[in-house]
Chain A
Amino acid sequence: MISINQLTFTYGDGTFRLRIPQLTLESGRSAVIVGPSGSGKTTLLNLIAGILTGSGGELRVGNTDVHRLNGNERRLFRLRNVGMVFQDFQLIDYLSVFDNVLLPCRIHPSVSVTKELRERASSLLDSVELASFERRSVTQLSQGERQRVAICRALLLSPRIVLADEPTGNLDPVNAERIVRLLLSETAHSGATLIMVTHDHSLVPHFDLVIPFDQFLERTPGEQKHHNLGGGAT
């Protein structure tokens, strides 16, 4: 279960603050975050993943208060529990499609590349119709294909939480639908919690919970001038 209580995060120079009073998501459920650009959706995913730490409040994943962990513990927490699909894929150019999917094993301190994991990687690629692309360089793929590789990478180690930041942003409606179904079926199969950020309202009905994200970002008191949010927050 993911539970948030009075979670706050202050951006850069302190002009803006993200404040989420209360949010609860049961294990194995799926949630979709919808909201305008710059409303703090990606920031929330980064907070849940432990990439960013809040300035106040509580964020618990199961029994773990993520923000009470130190940097190394948060990294291990992320490695063991979270699968991430980034907005810009963030694939490694010098690795093949197959090696990109296997990357979490190669950087994991206690997981080695076993035959089972290779078969799982192949199976995941097969499910997104990229089985014949295994040996190709990711630089030879289209945007949509790259996105599918990134999803396979996130799902490889069957994480407890899958955080997907606009995974369908570069896909046509048919492929977007297919990706969402894949994410939902894989997370449902492994009992993982899925949180996805999207602008595509047509995908919202697939999810158990919708989190409208348009009232959590606020200007900090005393700040009069208009400021841009800058990179990183959507």
Chain B
Amino acid sequence: MKNALYLAWKSLLWHRGRSVTILLSLAITIWLPVTVRLVLDQFRHEISERANATPLVLGAKGSRIDLALHALYFDTLPPADTTMAEVESINHLSPTNVAAIAIPLYVRYRTQSRPGIEGSVIVGTSPEYFEFRRLNIADGQMAALPGECVVGCNVAMRMQLHPGDSILSAPRNAFNLAGDYPLKMKIVGVLTQSHSPDDDAVFTDVRTTWIIDGIGHGHQELNTQTDSQLLLKNSTETRSVTANASVLPYTEITADNIDSFHFHGDPASFPLTAIIVVPETNKARTQILGRYSSSQATAQCLKPPEVIDELLSIVFRIEQLAWVCSIAAGIVTCLLLGLVVNLSMRLRAAEMQTMFRLGCSHMTIAKLHSSEIVLLLCAASVLAGAAALLTLRFPASVLRSLLF
């Protein structure tokens, strides 16, 4: 066999063009199903892992999939907002003890893009989120005040950010003068890598995201002593002032102006895009699910693993389709390979005749041909394996964005 392999190797080297063409065809045919399988397995593992680690998600009624993906991956926006009232409601489920922890999420804004670098999602949440997701600070400290933020490691790496730097939020609509202004946030920490969507997010206090949203704001102090040029109405009797548009709104929260920041309206009505609920007991879990299962409920509560399973059933169908395509491609490649081998045998008939006339058996000649095929298959397998490993280096988020 050693001699057959040696002669086959020499033949393959001599017929380089033909060998490379067959090698690439075989490699692609092997690579496709292997990669589909590996990537989907990885995707399935990653997506299930995060879903399984998230007990319950609460949000406005509507698409279950959108809400789950939003709470888990900050990907798609749910069709409507829920409110802080639900957080309060969950936190006070039991009058005597803590039955469940509600972690608010307000994920509506992104940071400003830079040339060649897309902006990152801004996640407004509470400190419990970091504990829940086991996120630690690699450099700096946790955000404690409005206007401070911590960035995921990928964001820090991509945008070359360090504690002490600043980052700007991106307004949703640059042409709306009455809309939200960009807020300059101070980076106080960088998170350790978690190999999750948290690595690509900027985390801040939920109040900061409300300030970006315009629900809260800070501006020059307005009282009865304020420069009359800024005021439209100054009533000393009712102690109320009405300012004109010349009042300077703050776009950065600093130690000097933080006291001027305030919110208008009932805090219970402040918006959230989702709430992660961590029940302390099975009883609390059942209680919460029951509360939000009725048709009169103002919000929906879902179990992320169940929703993700629904999604994965779609992935399974895609996988099956990919398998069918791969099998078809494999059959075509095998047929073409058979044709190439057949034509090659005809072209090399004189060579084989020489071998035979020298005393070579038909078995040895068959070994020569099969050795060539074996060598090509081995090389194609190695190539396909290497390509599959390279493909796996793409994060599952790429596939998630492609699929959903």
Interface assignment of B80: CB less than 8 Å from any CB of chain A: no
Q: Which of A90, A93, A108, A113 contacts B357 (CB 8 A)?
A: A90
Near B by CB (< 8 A), chain A positions 81-137 give 82, 84, 86, 90-95, 99, 103-109, 112-113
> In the complex, are the beta carbons of B359 and A86 less than 8 A apart?
no
CB neighbours of B361 from chain A (8 A): 72, 75, 109
Question: Interface size (B, Cβ < 8 Å)?
Answer: 20
Are B350 and A104 touching (Cβ within 8 A)? no
- The docked-state distance in angstroms from the alpha carbon of A76 to that of B360 is 8
The residue in B10, B14, B353, B358 that gathers the most chain A C-beta atoms within 10 A of its C-beta is B358
Query: In this assembly, does A210 line the interface, its C-beta being within 8 Å of a C-beta of chain B?
Result: no
B283 CB to closest chain A CB (Å) equals 78
Whole-angstrom CA separation of A99 from B9 in the bound complex: 13
Q: State the Cβ distance, A186 to closest chain B Cβ, in Å.
A: 18
State which residues 350-384 of B face A: CB under 8 Å.
Answer: 350-351, 353-361, 364
Bound-state CA distance A84–B353 (Å) is 13
Task: A80 to B350: give the CA distance in the assembly, Å.
Answer: 22
**Contact code string B1-44 (vs A, CB < 8 Å = 1, else 0):** 00100110011011100000000000000000000000000000
User: Is residue A79 contacting chain B, with contact meaning CB distance below 8 A?
Assistant: yes
Chain A residue numbers with a CB within 8 Å of B357 are 49, 51, 78, 84, 86, 90
Contact status B11-A94, CB under 8 Å: yes
Contact (Cβ within 8 A) A99 B10 = yes
Cβ contacts under 8 Å, B3 to chain A:
105-107, 112-113
Chain B 112-149 near chain A by CB (<8 Å), digits 1 or 0: 00000000000000000000000000000000000000
- B-chain residues with CB within 8 Å of residue A72 when the two chains form the complex: 361
B351: A residues at CB distance < 8 A: 92-93
Kindly state the separation between the CA atoms of A51 and B354 in the bound complex, as whole angstroms.
11
Q: Are B15 and A94 in contact (CB under 8 A)?
A: yes
Contact (Cβ within 8 A) B364 A107: yes
- Please tell me if the beta carbons of B6 and A104 are within 8 angstroms of each other in the complex: no
Q: How far is the CA of A112 from the CA of B6 in the complex (A)?
A: 12
> How many angstroms between the C-alpha atoms of A86 and B350 in the bound complex?
13
Within 8 A of B (CB), among A129-149: none
Within 8 A of B (CB), among A57-83: 72, 75-76, 78-80, 82
Instruction: Provide the residues of chain A in CB contact with B13, threshold 8 Å.
Output: 94
Chain A residues with CB under 8 Å of B353's CB are 90
Is B11 within 8 A of A75, CB to CB?
no
A interface residues (Cβ-Cβ under 8 A, vs B)? 49, 51, 72, 75-76, 78-80, 82, 84, 86, 90-95, 99, 103-109, 112-113
- Cβ contacts A to B, 28 pairs, < 8 Å: A51-B357, A75-B356, A75-B360, A76-B359, A78-B358, A78-B359, A79-B360, A80-B359, A84-B357, A84-B358, A86-B354, A86-B357, A91-B354, A92-B351, A92-B354, A93-B14, A94-B10, A94-B11, A94-B15, A95-B7, A99-B10, A104-B358, A106-B3, A106-B7, A107-B3, A107-B355, A109-B361, A109-B364
Other contacts beyond A75-B359, A90-B357: 15, CB < 8 A:
A51-B357, A72-B361, A75-B361, A76-B359, A79-B358, A82-B359, A90-B350, A91-B354, A94-B11, A95-B7, A103-B358, A104-B359, A107-B358, A107-B360, A109-B361
